[in-house]
Structure 1
């Protein structure tokens, strides 16, 4: 890779008062972008295929500029085309930092040798669907020559189909002139009210730094055993020196000290939001089936604000208003009664058992009134279906979960866009799954950040996002390194350097 664009970017930043420019690939609605923006970066462009997510990103980072809200397929959008459409200028000089990460499925079974060949001869595998998105990602790195690259993905990227994909990617980036490190980070250690485990790979060009700095934790929590076990599975390949050729770029992320501030809890995150008492609203006919838009203003409840709530309501540039507009929930009339009877931490087996109990109580009540319903009849089956969910309790133990108020939430997934049972509100009097705004709070999106589309697309965007607070910590640490490089630019006079 030609180092001259790298050196010119360092020189530009040294000019004073100029923010590092960010390009976000596979950007979603903008969680990664938001964290970098808070750390003082300029989010100049994004590439996102999903129409609602692209609209959200455009609305929040380039309001009124329609060209930034256009969904783009990266496989049909070469860097030169993106630069032209968004008026970024010279591609090699347009961006300082590239963030984002291709879907993990894009790398399945490709293998280290093929990844290297793709990096050197991308045209040879242009029609390989398993590697296509990876090819495009590398093409953007090559074309934009960023000072740094930050990639986020699931922990399984370290053990995907027998491959440590993060290691393979680090090797390719290293060959392009970058110093790379990757590790596993839990969002709860960085002020996010969610125990979300993610892989982060950070690559810094050698002209910027000789190593990679990792963000230090700000909060402490003892993670549940399930998270510890999942991490062990993800790191399994690292234990085999043979599998990694005797070396690797993995480093242990800093662990939180027990004297740090305790992790932000679910109660800390959402207690100020107005209650939605599902059973009462259902009885009154307020809750109905159908499209849930974000055009109804609901005033805040006025309860005492935690420090986290203060952050969410007063995030610079994304401050909340006097009311929330996306505090909407799913219409699940069969299940609200079940939600009310669950204890914190209960999952689907407990929910199914409680539902069967409600059904048996209903049968007994009918019998006491002289209207006995015989087992096996159409009426019996109909009554049971109106109370008891149809899923096998032995096959779907994790399908439901009632949140604990005094713990961070479990990992939010894009599947929230389908049902919401994985995050049932801890307050039994409300007896419901979390709302769109509550999901946003648990992912650390500030109240002034808006989501395009309706409820289902919004849940999906939130579940797919990088938590902005985690992104902010990563971005802040990276900027320290960039700032140091800018300060030392005299040691690297551009005129004395040549292309490599």
Structure 2
């Protein structure tokens, strides 16, 4: 089945569809480093298909400076020159918008031309499915509280129109639109009503789930095999005449013979003090007997020679003292409140607004939701080991998001954090891909 992925980010949603045999002919993403991550992932899948992962590992061993990434990839392109052409057609670093108002933007018509070029390159004549989700800051409750009235004027409220334009042009059988629950209530529910109406006008039904009350269709990805509390909305649209039903995700839930807790996710990764580790350099796994690894850790290590993106942020002594207190509280099953800190550790006068500023991923609990704010600071994502007393690394949050260890996030560390925080967990994307395939291929 032929797929277009819009607002792709680092590729979490497309990863599951790729694993399930869909052919993704175009991935459109505005952020440069996310696109570089997509290119590296495309290289991985290409080399894996060609039984040449050793070349991928050689690339990983040599590619540890994002400033020399293009040169580092030449060892691959020299052997597979066709791969560079494939990347150029299928990964489009484009920002949807009006070029007259935004010099960085590309018009829908120009992006559509590039997608047609990729279809031709892939010998495809039609599109079966479109996936993706416009940036969700203004839809999310947190985002709306930060932006306040500006949220109602934010142009990102209307990015779904570009999604709509692509659906209208390529007329897929169906589309998948993943987003935060706030999309159902944004602008006093007007945004979602408009989305439904606009898709209805071009001949598509859009469902938020099986319940007529949309708020009851919010799902927690942890119920489907993801090792993380993550509440989201998965909208499913289809041509009216096909009369599809909403996908049954529960039928394809991934089950684990162990607790979904932080220890089983990251307990095997190298210990780090603040500032230690490597951003992009490949690090060998610490020696461990296979029997010591959790089922989840074994899954994350498949087709991997080690880990990348595992460098701890530097932490001020002041914050590290707070981290230790937060970890001690967490070990007693208590969430530290900001107003409970000693006065000499408080830096904010408005204590009420910062009550949950510091939060630990307890060893024995399921992790809380990873969000893009982790690119700014790690206070809400503290490692549970009091000896390390630091925030989580990119690799650790990638593990929580269910990205395998061979998934390399390119660019500076801030860009890496942003990519992981915004992503759809690949485990959930695999569940979605299977459920959608069942619908699209059923007689």
Structure-2-length-normalised TM-score: 0.74
**Which of 1 and 2 has greater Rg?**
1
Separation of aligned partners in 2, 1:104 and 1:394: 26
State the match for 1:135 in structure 2: 161
State the match for 1:325 in structure 2: 308
2:337 alignment partner, SS class: helix
Structure-1-length-normalised TM-score: 0.66
Separation of aligned partners in 1, 2:123 and 2:182: 33
Separation of aligned partners in 2, 1:41 and 1:55: 21
Which of 320, 324, 345 is the aligned partner of 1:336?
320
**How big is the shift at 1:47?**
0.6
State the match for 1:437 in structure 2: 395
Are 2:284 and 2:307, in contact at CA under 8 Å, matched by a contact in 1?
yes
Which of 287, 290, 293 is the aligned partner of 2:279?
293
State the match for 2:295 in structure 1: 307
Are 2:336 and 2:356, in contact at CA under 8 Å, matched by a contact in 1?
yes
Q: Report which of the two has the higher share of helix.
A: 2
- Superposition map of 1:55-454 within 5 A: 55-62=36-43, 64-65=83-84, 66-67=87-88, 68-75=90-97, 76-77=106-107, 78=109, 79-84=111-116, 86=118, 88=120, 93-104=125-136, 129=155, 132-182=158-208, 183-216=217-250, 264-278=260-274, 287=276, 293-295=279-281, 297-302=283-288, 304-314=292-302, 319-321=303-305, 323-334=306-317, 335-342=319-326, 343-344=329-330, 347=335, 349=337, 353-354=340-341, 356=343, 389-390=347-348, 392-454=350-412
Are 2:307 and 2:405, in contact at CA under 8 Å, matched by a contact in 1?
yes
Are 2:25 and 2:119, in contact at CA under 8 Å, matched by a contact in 1?
no
Separation of aligned partners in 2, 1:46 and 1:168: 26
Separation of aligned partners in 2, 1:168 and 1:301: 55
**How big is the shift at 1:400?**
1.2
Are 1:204 and 1:212, in contact at CA under 8 Å, matched by a contact in 2?
no
Q: 1:462 to 1:107 in 2, by over 3 A?
A: closer
Separation of aligned partners in 1, 2:355 and 2:157: 34
Q: 1:444 to 1:35 in 2, by over 3 A?
A: same
Deviations 1:107-152 (A, max 9, x none): 89xxxxxxxxxxxxxxxxxxx9466522211110011111110001
State the match for 2:11 in structure 1: 30
Give the aligned length. Answer: 365
**How big is the shift at 1:471?**
1.2
Unpaired runs of at least 5, structure 1? 1-19, 109-127, 221-258, 279-285, 357-383, 489-500
Separation of aligned partners in 1, 2:134 and 2:261: 30
Unpaired runs of at least 5, structure 2? 45-82, 98-105, 141-153, 209-216
